[in-house]
Amino acid sequence: MKVEAKMLLGLGLFFGIMCAVYWNWSLENAGGVMMFAGMLLCFLPGSYYYFWSRRMKARPEDDPNATQASGAGVVGSFPGTSIWPFTLGMGAFMVVLALVFGIWFLIPGLGLVAWALLGGTAEGRRGGKV
């Protein structure tokens, strides 16, 4: 994960320098705060990947001489059909409509959101149903 780490840390460093120059030179705080936060956002995964890349051996996708056979086995868990994204989406839709049409929309909205979160988590743990 070295390339990923360097890319993110590099971006973060660039934002940091830009932030230092801008915040000092301008008379304006909002931009400075936003650029600073952008820098932190890049450093967060970047440093995580950096420290991991030093500890782990090359994954098959980081190995320029890997064979396809080296990637055999479990790739990951890919939930097939699931009703929960749709349910959560409809719940979020109703929550937003509550912002416009009245707080009573929050009842079905938050209800669907909670149901979807519970159902989706259970599905993930249990392995889901057909």
* Contacts to another protein by CB under 8 A: 1, 3-4, 7-8, 10-11, 14-15, 18, 21-22, 25-28, 30-31, 34-35, 38, 41-42, 49, 60-86, 88-90, 92-93, 96-97, 99-101, 120, 123-124, 127-130
Rounded least distance, CB 17 to another protein, Å: 10
CB atoms within 10 A of CB 20: 14
Q: What is the token pair recorded at 13?
A: 């460093």
Distance, in Å, from the CA atom of 117 to the CA atom of 5, rounded to the nearest integer, reads 32
Q: What is the token pair recorded at 11?
A: 């971006």
The one-letter amino acid code at 22 reads: Y
Residue placing its CB nearer to another protein in the complex, 89 or 111: 89
Rounded least distance, CB 68 to another protein, Å: 4
Contacts of 95 (CB under 8 A, 6+ apart): 105, 106, 109, 110, 113
Residue placing its CB nearer to another protein in the complex, 14 or 51: 14
Rounded least distance, CB 42 to another protein, Å: 8
